[in-house]
A and B are shown apart, each in its own frame.
Chain A
């Protein structure tokens, strides 16, 4: 094989590989990325049923209940505009409590959100990424109301 041809073949291989990576990634992202919704989005029907999504909002005060089996909890996530009931089986992260922010991963079944994971809040300064924004909007809204 001539060196020049060899270089051409290698360059062609590299281009094909990069294209393949991009196409694979696009396909993967379309079918596997999970979107983030707030209860208001869910009420307006933006979120698809049974598909992996994330739900974020505040745990409503007084909504937390424990099932008799001791490891299933239910609570309501609210964003000030709408409320979504959530069911979770497992030990929630340490700083999960009523009145604080939460992001849950799982899927919608009917009007209820079945959570597989409740994202850990790493310390008291941490705000779940998407909630940082929500909290800011919330505050801005309150100031406007005043």
Chain B
């Protein structure tokens, strides 16, 4: 019953999306006044998709095995939280989540948007409905989440144990909110290109959505990186896996957009470029979804085995991206020139930022898709991994990080002050860091060494925009920028320290034996069996110490029965100066156990930096919202006084 309700809500929402699209065309032309109706329809559509998603959550929470999706991905013995989270841990459920976020974002946008011209707003809602329609069709035709099984099976197949982790409950929804938040920027850009009203008002309307989406993407990527780090038991934080790149590419485009949108808002310049980035950012979200959801990554051949979904998604991608860029090509020449700027100016700095981000995006894009192209064309199989991305994108990212310290010091339009003098202290710090690493660690690889140098420079340069005035009277958005830029320096330090100073120990230990890793002594006290709600496990007992005081670490290996699988649960202890990461492997013939130990100095800075970057974004968003609210109140104030005078 509930499943049918969900399906009905989904069909209704699809119908409303069609209505919204059809109504928007004459309204934009001015022949019909349908603005109020369109807003209402957008809100209703959001409510209906929420209903459908709630229905899916309920059938998963109840483990209703007559629903095929529940049977495929759930099991009655699963902890409750993973039953619920299992709703979006699969193809159909995650596509429903995607559509829900798309429609809800459209509804919220319809209610809140006041800053753009009415025609642009309606055109944007039409574009949003067009986006929605394609994905409704995909859900209802090619991946119905509510399909029934008759007769209902007695027990479900279970959820991949790797996904039974609190990380799963938050990671995909966060990323999806980010991906789909960019859809509003896309729709607004399409709407503005239709009406050619590309101005600073548009930028101000678009900015909170881009900022919000970017914050969530940053959080999602940071959390995903930490999840891979502790869950997979390999001690790495980024693998350049295509699935990871699928989330990195929209982030890179959104970061570029976030910066160019400020130029459009403040100076009404870079119009065409900003519109292109807005289209590009959501296109990258769709490319990411296509890569992850079509099965094309597993293999070009797997793609051919399940052609319906993959082809459907590829067609949607082609239509939307193609149509948006075609519209861009037609309308871009008609956009009027923005305000001019000199070669040394804030605008130029942001242009360089954008160019570097776009180049990095291109490199990641090519590296991610190249194996697919080669296999599809020549049948030759190859993989592009960390060596390519580190060697090609790494130096550019470092150059960008260094310039991040310079750009915010430049003033709009033209810079006449001696900016370089303000960078004396950061420059000296960078040279010191370089010399220290050469003296203390002469055999360091080039990237970590430069990483330390750039991080030292940026850490000192990032707060400079707050100096030379009362920092507590600076706008919250400036604080946000400073915090984010400082976060880059923090994350960079973590990456460089992890690359340079990680010590690793792999050995077989007999009970009672001692091993050392970095400054640590690890005593192995044997292995004991244990059990959890839906798994059995073995647990190793490790006593670790450096100098005085010992701690106990208990790495485990879990054995699941539905589906049958083992996962290793690393025991990780965090200290102020790093993490001790321990994994227990298997028993060898002599009765000893394999142990893998890492000492990773300052590795936590990587995620702390990511969190700082997101927090800075939140400051900016809050600052802009407060300012908007104050401006609105200031405008209302006279009316209020007149009324009560």
The reply on B342 being an interface residue by CB < 8 A is: yes
Q: Are A32 and B391 in contact (CB under 8 A)?
A: yes
CB neighbours of B358 from chain A (8 A): 14, 17-18, 21
A28 in complex: contacting residue of B297, B337, B363, CB < 8 Å: B363
- The interface residues of chain A lying within 8 Å CB-to-CB of B273 are 10, 14
CB distance from B209 to the nearest CB of A (A): 24
Whether A28 and B590, one on each chain, are in contact in the complex, defined by CB atoms closer than 8 angstroms, is no
User: Bound state CA distance, A132 and B557, in angstroms?
Assistant: 28
Q: Are A29 and B367 in contact (CB under 8 A)?
A: yes
B527 CB within 8 Å of chain A: no
CB of B84 within 8 A of chain A?
A: no
Q: Which of chain B's residues have a CB closer than 8 A to the CB of A33?
A: 370-371, 382-384, 388
In the assembled complex, the CB of B233 is this many whole angstroms from the nearest CB of chain A, namely 8
* A124 in contact with B563 given A24-B392, A54-B383, A89-B506 (CB within 8 Å): yes
Q: What does the 1/0 interface line of B545-589 toward A look like (CB < 8 Å)?
A: 000000000000100000111111000000000000001011011
Most buried by A among B162, B355, B566: B355
B432 at the interface (CB under 8 A from A): no
Complex CA–CA separation, A95 to B563 (angstroms):
12
Contact indicator per residue, chain A 46-83, by CB within 8 Å of chain B (1) or not (0) = 00000010100000000000100111000000000000
Q: Which residues of B contact A54 (CB under 8 A)?
A: 383
- How near does chain A come to B546, taking the closest CB pair, in angstroms? 24
Q: How far is the CB of B303 from chain A (nearest CB, A)?
A: 11
Q: How far is the CB of B292 from chain A (nearest CB, A)?
A: 14
A43 within 8 A of B: no
Q: What residue in chain B is nearest A36 (Cβ atoms)?
A: B381
Interface centre among B297, B362, B583 (most CB of A within 10 A): B362
Assess the A34–B507 pair: CB atoms within 8 A.
Answer: no
Is the pair A71, B506 in contact by a Cβ cutoff of 8 Å? Answer: yes
Question: Which residue, B342, B382, B383, has most C-beta atoms of chain A within 10 A?
Answer: B383
CA distance A33 to B387 in the complex (A): 8
Whether B507 lies near A133 (C-beta < 8 A) is no
Q: Given A10, A24, A132, which contacts B363 in the complex, CB threshold below 8 Å?
A: A24
**Taking A3-B340, A91-B506, A133-B301 as contacts, is the C-beta distance between A35 and B363 under 8 angstroms?**
no
Tell whether A95 pairs with B565 under 8 Å between CB atoms, given A71-B506, A122-B162, A129-B297.
yes
- Say yes or no: is B596 at the interface (Cβ < 8 Å to chain A): yes
For residue B380, CB closer than 8 A to chain A, the reply is: yes
Residues of B close to A133: CB separation below 8 A: 299, 301, 381
Query: Once the chains bind, are B596 and A129 in contact (CB under 8 Å)?
Result: no
Interface size range of chain A in the complex: 35 or more
Interface residues contributed by chain B, number (CB under 8 Å)? 59
* A94–B297 alpha-carbon span in the complex (Å): 22
Give per-residue flags for B320-349: 1 if the beta carbon is below 8 A from chain A beta carbons, else 0: 000000000000000001101111000000
Task: Name which of A3, A28, A124 has the most chain B CB atoms within 10 A of its CB.
Answer: A28
CB < 8 Å: which of B370, B392, B506, B565 contacts A94?
B565
Whether the Cβ atoms of B337 and A7 lie closer than 8 Å is yes
Asked whether, in the complex, the Cβ of B160 is within 8 Å of the Cβ of A123, the reply is yes
Residues of B within 8 A of A29 (CB): 366-367, 370, 384, 388
Selected from B340, B568, B592, the residue in CB contact (under 8 A) with A6 is B340
**Distance of B624 from chain A, by nearest CB (Å):** 26
B385 within 8 A of A: yes
Task: Tell me, in angstroms, the Cα distance from A131 to B237 when the chains sit together.
Answer: 26
A17 pairs with B301, CB closer than 8 A: no
Is B359 part of the contact surface with A, judged by Cβ < 8 Å?
A: yes
* Chain B residues within 8 Å of A28, by CB: 363, 367, 388, 391-392
Q: Is B298 an interface residue (CB 8 A)?
A: yes
- The residue among A20, A70, A120 with the most chain B CB atoms within 10 A of its own CB is A70
CA A90 to CA B342, docked complex, whole Å:
57
Which B108-133 residues have C-beta < 8 A from chain A? Answer: none
B337 touches A3 (CB 8 A): yes
User: For residue A142, which residues in chain B have a CB less than 8 angstroms away from its CB?
Assistant: none
Tell me the A1-48 residues at the B interface (CB within 8 Å): 1-4, 6-7, 10, 13-14, 17-18, 20-22, 24-25, 27-29, 31-36
A27–B382 contact, CB under 8 A? Answer: no
Q: Which residues of A contact B366 (CB under 8 A)?
A: 21-22, 25, 29
A91 adjacent to B384 (CB under 8 Å):
no
From A20, A27, A35, B381 is in contact (CB under 8 Å) with A35
B590 / chain A contacts, CB cutoff of 8 Å: 70
Complex alpha-carbon distance, A52 and B383, angstroms: 10
**Quick check: is A140 within 8 A (CB to CB) of the other chain?**
no
In angstroms, Cα B593 to Cα A79, docked, is 32
Pair A94/B568 contact, Cβ less than 8 Å: yes
A14 and B366 CA atoms in complex are apart in Å by 17
- Would you call A70 and B507 a contact (CB within 8 A)? yes
Asked if B516 is at the interface of the complex by the 8 Å CB criterion, the answer is: no
A14 touches B355 (CB 8 A): yes
B302, CB-defined interface residue at 8 Å: yes
Contacts of B383 in A (CB 8 A): 33-36, 54, 105
Q: Is the CB of A124 within 8 A of B370?
A: no
CB pairs A–B below 8 angstroms (5 shown): A31-B391, A32-B388, A33-B382, A52-B387, A122-B162
Give me the interface of A with B, judged by CB distance under 8 Å: 1-4, 6-7, 10, 13-14, 17-18, 20-22, 24-25, 27-29, 31-36, 52, 54, 66, 69-71, 89-91, 94-95, 105, 120, 122-125, 127, 129-130, 132-133, 136
Given contacts A1-B343, A10-B273, A13-B355, 10 further A-B contacts (CB under 8 A): A1-B341, A10-B270, A18-B362, A29-B388, A70-B594, A122-B160, A123-B563, A129-B297, A133-B301, A133-B381
